[in-house]
């Protein structure tokens, strides 16, 4: 179980630079596939062996100066609700501002670790100036320069200390399916239809569900735990653009699931927020099933379904090997097909392929289509194996792994998919020195 760290503060204090610096260490290594950093405000990071999710709240605030204050208050309140640790970034050049004091006032009431990061401290003079931030009443502060990285190590040490202990889930090892999606796409209606009872109150007002709820479910001789991220627990006073909230709520549900059932509203199409949730699940290496709900409400022509599906696949390139199911929670059309598919995706995610079988299949393919030569040097791949990771990851051993480019890695991934069926599951391909 990892934690969530939120970076808060007023605009232009360097939140995003700090965010980028904190995820870069890891992203550079982990996300070898190009085109996955779609969502710049959410990342995975690790420090001293502890993994956590990082959310840059600043990326979600848009608007003019006067809108900013209200927005920032809302962002901070959300971060307080959802995050385990909060990093409050301030700027030594401007000193303490009214807006900083307002944020500090919200943070002083919180029973969670809050770390003040005084940014842009790149010399001794400025370190002396930082003393005035004691006035915020949040205790000690950390002086950092997010541009050159000084001081960020000490800050990260403290952040990791503040994360909740790694608690192993006590419950039996049931597969966990998370129902995620933007507000009002029909997540609760889908779960009600499955359970055959009004477990959740369903109304047409977006965001009426309260909290994420786990339900044990047994069907097709297969038992699993169903997690309703329950859309979005909106506070009455929070009327914000829901994108940030959806992401905040989905992060935790996605992290603690094996397969994500992404419910999309057919009457609205596959919107940017749906894509954000999709990429969150992909970044976390979860199995994914896309459920296009309310299909009964769409005017149909001969190719309506095919066209809709092609549009979705275009948006999720290059990871297009994902099941898309058209359903209606209201008429119960194809809801069991959705669960059956999720079960298949779970099996694909936990599939192990023996090294001998893998080499028997992949080496002849590689021999027929070797990696392109680089500056007259030939790359030879001699051996491959599946890594002992919870999700499908494969290492190919070569004499010159550094010359193998992304397009060839994608070729290998596609061949793995064709031969071993990883439908709905992200697959990682690494090249290693023989």
Q: What does the pLDDT look like over 81-101, one tens digit per residue?
A: 778 899 999 999 989 988 888
341 is in an annotated binding site: no
Q: What band does 17 get if pLDDT is binned at 50, 70 and 90?
A: confident
156 shares a domain with 135: yes
Q: Tell me, yes or no, whether 170 lies in a domain.
A: no
The number of beta carbons lying within 10 Å of the beta carbon of residue 222 is 15
The region of weakest confidence among 141-145, 185-189, 387-391 is: 185-189
Q: What is the pLDDT of residues 253-291, one digit of tens each?
A: 787 789 999 999 999 999 888 888 898 888 888 999 999
182 is in an annotated binding site: yes
186 is in an annotated binding site: yes
Q: What is the pLDDT of residue 47?
A: 86
334 shares a domain with 198: yes
Q: What band does 68 get if pLDDT is binned at 50, 70 and 90?
A: low
59 is in an annotated binding site: yes
> CA-based angle 150:152:155, to the nearest 5?
140
Q: Tell me, yes or no, whether 107 lies in a domain.
A: yes
198 shares a domain with 125: no
184 is in an annotated binding site: yes
370 shares a domain with 329: no
Which pair of structure tokens corresponds to residue 254?
């996605």
Q: Tell me, yes or no, whether 169 lies in a domain.
A: no
Phi, psi of 322 (to 5 degrees): -130, 135
CATH code, 361: 3.30.300.20
322 is in an annotated binding site: no
333 shares a domain with 369: no
Instruction: Compare 381 and 79 and report the one with higher pLDDT.
Output: 381
Which pair of structure tokens corresponds to residue 371?
């990696």
Q: Please report the beta strands in 294-407, taking only residues with DSSP state E, as ranges in sequence order.
A: 324-326, 381-386, 393-398
80, pLDDT greater than 80: no
Q: Tell me, yes or no, whether 156 lies in a domain.
A: yes
Query: What is the residue range of 14's domain?
Result: 4-162
Pick the last residue of a domain from 162, 192, 209. Answer: 162
**What is the number of domains present in the chain?**
3
Phi, psi of 118 (to 5 degrees): -85, 110
- Whether the pTM exceeds 0.75: the reply is no
188 shares a domain with 108: no
The region of weakest confidence among 102-116, 131-145, 204-218 is: 204-218
217 shares a domain with 282: yes
Whose CA is closest to 84, among 200, 166, 201? 166
Q: Tell me, yes or no, whether 171 lies in a domain.
A: no
Chain CA centroid to CA 240, Å: 21
Please say whether the beta carbons of 178 and 254 come within 8 A: yes
Q: What band does 142 get if pLDDT is binned at 50, 70 and 90?
A: very high
> CA-CA distance, 38 to 247, in Å (whole number)?
13
201 shares a domain with 128: no
Whose CA is closest to 255, among 48, 19, 55, 22? 55
Q: What is the pLDDT of residue 202?
A: 45
pLDDT mean over 368-391: 91
187 is in an annotated binding site: yes
128 shares a domain with 34: yes
CATH code, 88: 3.40.50.300
139 is in an annotated binding site: no
10 is in an annotated binding site: yes
Q: Indicate the average pLDDT of the chain.
A: 80
Q: What is the pLDDT of residues 224-253, one digit of tens each?
A: 887 766 544 444 434 444 556 666 667 777
């Amino acid at each position: 179980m990892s934690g969530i760290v939120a970076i808060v503060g007023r605009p232009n204090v360097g939140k995003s630079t700090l965010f980028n610096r904190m995820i870069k260490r890891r992203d550079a290594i982990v996300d070898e596939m190009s085109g996955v950093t779609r969502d710049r405000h959410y990342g995975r990071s690790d420090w001293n062996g502890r993994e956590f999710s990082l959310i840059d709240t600043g990326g979600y605030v848009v608007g003019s100066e006067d809108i900013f204050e209200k927005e920032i208050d809302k962002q901070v309140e959300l971060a307080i609700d959802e995050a385990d640790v909060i990093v409050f970034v301030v700027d030594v050049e401007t000193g303490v501002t009214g807006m900083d004091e307002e944020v500090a006032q919200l943070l002083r009431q919180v029973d969670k670790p809050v770390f003040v990061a005084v940014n842009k401290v790149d010399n001794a003079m400025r370190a002396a100036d930082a003393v005035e931030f004691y006035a915020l009443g949040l205790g000690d502060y950390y002086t950092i320069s997010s541009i050159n990285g000084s001081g960020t190590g000490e800050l990260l040490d403290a952040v990791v200390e503040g994360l909740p202990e790694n608690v192993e889930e006590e419950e039996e090892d049931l597969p966990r399916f998370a129902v995620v999606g933007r507000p009002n796409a029909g997540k609760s209606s889908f779960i009600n239809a499955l359970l055959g009872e009004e477990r959740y109150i369903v109304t047409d007002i977006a965001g009426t569900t309260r909290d994420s709820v786990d339900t044990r479910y047994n069907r097709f001789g297969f038992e699993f735990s169903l997690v309703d991220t329950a859309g979005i627990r909106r506070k009455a006073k929070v009327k914000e653009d829901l994108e940030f909230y959806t992401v905040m709520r989905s992060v935790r549900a996605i992290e603690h699931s094996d397969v994500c059932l992404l419910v999309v509203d057919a009457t609205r199409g596959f919107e940017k927020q749906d894509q954000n949730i999709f990429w969150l699940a992909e970044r976390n290496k979860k199995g994914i099933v896309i459920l296009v709900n309310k299909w009964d409400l769409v005017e149909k022509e001969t190719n309506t379904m095919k066209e809709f599906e092609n549009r979705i696949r275009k948006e999720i390139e290059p990871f297009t090997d994902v099941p898309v199911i058209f359903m209606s929670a209201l008429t119960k059309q194809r809801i069991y097909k959705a669960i059956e598919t999720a079960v298949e995706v779970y099996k694909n995610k936990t599939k192990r392929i023996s090294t001998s079988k893998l080499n028997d299949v992949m080496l002849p393919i590689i021999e027929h289509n070797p990696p392109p030569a680089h500056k007259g040097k030939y790359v030879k791949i001699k051996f491959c194996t599946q890594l002992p990771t919870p999700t499908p990851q494969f290492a190919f051993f070569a004499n010159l792994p550094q010359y193998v480019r992304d397009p060839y890695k994608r070729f290998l991934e596609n061949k793995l998919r064709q031969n071993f069926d990883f439908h709905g599951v992200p697959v990682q391909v690494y090249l290693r020195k023989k």
